[in-house]
């Protein structure tokens, strides 16, 4: 027995008997400490070893050396049912040439690199990396759609400025990515959702969506009992964008001014005014507060729109009852009819979904965090040539229960 190597190996229940050191790799001969095993058929313990079967498998490095384990998967004979059986070993799957923990290490690297580079790093073949991934996803996949009660559907652009959108599906109660759909078509999304099964879809109570894609019909069809809630951050963005556009329009109008001195004065007030106008007042410092006052004095329309934007936010912060919230929103729409014309058109079209927020308080705020993580994976995933590879990496990141 090699007590030091046994301790270094740190595989529960296994002991290092001997070892051989060949240049760049170390081979450890290990054996189980127990002398018995439980018959998988009848559950009886057996002490009678029928045959020895020696195997070789890769394991984690020990001080920079690749490690191979030579281990015996003993075949016992069960006295009760009279049949032989192979013992099951906790650290390695049946007929695998790598330990579970080695596969986990390799698969974790796939989050940041492509298969080829990861294979090279660990001195194994591309095929073996693929087989490890498949093995672990079967063994450790923890995704269970039956838990989803509140679902977020959101679109993200993977390449800036391109029409390369994917649709992400998020379990809003757990802030977990549960699916990535390659295209925004109803057909593609329907296929993914239907793969969860009817029973799962029927129990989904809420679906949070943004205001861009039109998934209402699809959601009603597939998840008849789910209430659709427009994500409040997307709704707020509508208002913020309109305010910012008005700011840009004011700036453009200044170009035509004849009085150069006045033109410069007003231009200075509007320069770097985006943050001041769009952020909430409690985030502004003294200088920014002064700027806001100047904007309000010199650009009354922007001043008015600013107040309306704040009033809009207050409604969503403070109403927890559908009727009260819906009335407050309708009053706001009346008040902002002139200034936020286009936004109000959108709010009318999504009124039911937008006001559903007052009672459900459901937002897909968490989705934003997930989206940022996805974009990071996308950036890191150099050379990933296809969508499946991207998907895989996302799911390793969220769904493989690798500690």
- Positive/negative CA dihedral, 277, 279, 285, 286: positive
Q: Which stretch binds Zn ion (CB under 5 A): 70-78, 172-180, 347-355, 364-372?
A: 70-78
Q: Is 80 in the site for Zn ion (CB under 5 A)?
A: yes
Pick the binder of Zn ion from 8, 36, 42, 395 (CB under 5 A). 42
Distance CA 39, CA 84 (A): 8
Minimum Å gap between C-beta 34 and Zn ion is 17
Distance CA 64, CA 24 (A): 8
Per-residue x/- track, 2-41, Zn ion (CB under 5 A): -------------------------------------x-x
Minimum Å gap between C-beta 41 and Zn ion is 4
Sheet of 84-86: strand order equals 49-51, 75-77, 84-86
Q: Is 344 in the site for Zn ion (CB under 5 A)?
A: no
Phi (first) and psi of residue 145, to 5 degrees: -65, -15
CB count within 10 Å of CB 331 equals 12
Minimum Å gap between C-beta 82 and Zn ion is 8
Pick the binder of Zn ion from 8, 36, 49, 81 (CB under 5 A). 81
Contact (CB, 8 A) for 19 and 29 = yes
Could you tell me how many residues of this chain bind Zn ion (CB under 5 A)?
Answer: 6
Q: Which stretch binds Zn ion (CB under 5 A): 77-85, 167-175, 298-306, 315-323?
A: 77-85
Closer CB to Zn ion, 78 or 377, in the complex: 78
DSSP 3-state of 141: strand
Closer CB to Zn ion, 33 or 79, in the complex: 79
DSSP codes, 36-68: -EE-TTT--EE--EEE--EEEEEEEEETTEEEE
Closer CB to Zn ion, 79 or 120, in the complex: 79
Give Rg (Cα) of the chain: 31
Q: Is 254 in the site for Zn ion (CB under 5 A)?
A: no
Pick the binder of Zn ion from 28, 78, 201, 204 (CB under 5 A). 78
Interface residues with Zn ion (CB under 5 A)?
A: 39, 41-42, 78, 80-81
């Amino acid at each position: 027995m090699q007590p030091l190597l046994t301790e270094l190996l740190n595989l529960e229940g296994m002991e290092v008997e001997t070892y051989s050191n060949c240049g760049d790799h170390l081979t450890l001969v290990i054996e189980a400490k127990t002398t018995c095993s439980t018959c998988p058929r009848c559950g009886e313990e057996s002490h009678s070893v029928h045959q020895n079967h020696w195997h070789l498998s890769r394991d984690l490095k020990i001080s920079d050396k690749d490690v191979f384990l030579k281990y015996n998967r003993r075949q016992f004979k069960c006295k009760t049912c009279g049949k032989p059986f192979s013992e099951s070993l906790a650290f390695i799957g049946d007929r695998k040439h790598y330990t579970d923990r080695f596969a986990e290490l390799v698969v974790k690297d796939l989050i940041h690199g492509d298969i080829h580079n990861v294979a090279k790093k660990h001195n194994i073949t591309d095929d073996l990396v693929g087989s490890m991934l498949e093995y672990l996803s079967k063994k450790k996949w923890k995704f269970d759609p039956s838990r989803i009660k509140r679902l977020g559907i959101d679109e993200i652009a993977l390449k800036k400025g391109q029409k390369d959108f994917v649709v992400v599906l998020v379990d809003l109660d757990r802030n977990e990515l549960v699916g990535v759909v390659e295209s925004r078509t109803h057909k593609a999304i329907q296929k993914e959702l239907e793969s969860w099964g009817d029973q799962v879809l029927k129990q989904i109570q809420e679906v949070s969506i943004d205001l861009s894609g039109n998934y209402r019909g699809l959601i009603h069809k597939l998840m008849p009992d789910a209430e659709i809630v427009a994500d409040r951050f997307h709704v707020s963005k509508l208002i913020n964008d309109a305010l910012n556009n008005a700011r840009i329009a004011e700036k453009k109008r200044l170009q035509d001014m004849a009085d150069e001195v006045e033109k410069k004065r007003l231009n200075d007030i509007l320069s770097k005014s985006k943050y001041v106008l769009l952020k909430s007042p409690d985030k502004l410092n003294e200088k920014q507060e002064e700027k806001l006052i100047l904007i309000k004095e010199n650009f009354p329309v922007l001043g008015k729109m600013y107040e309306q934007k704040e009033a809009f936010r207050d409604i969503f912060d403070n109403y927890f009852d559908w009727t009260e919230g819906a009335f407050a929103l309708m009053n706001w729409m009346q008040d902002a009819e002139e200034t936020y014309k286009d936004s109000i058109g959108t709010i009318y079209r999504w009124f039911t979904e937008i006001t559903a927020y007052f009672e459900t308080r459901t937002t897909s705020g968490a989705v934003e965090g997930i989206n940022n993580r996805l974009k990071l994976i996308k950036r890191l995933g150099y050379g990933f040539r296809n969508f499946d590879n991207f998907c895989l990496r996302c799911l390793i990141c969220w769904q493989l229960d690798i500690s």
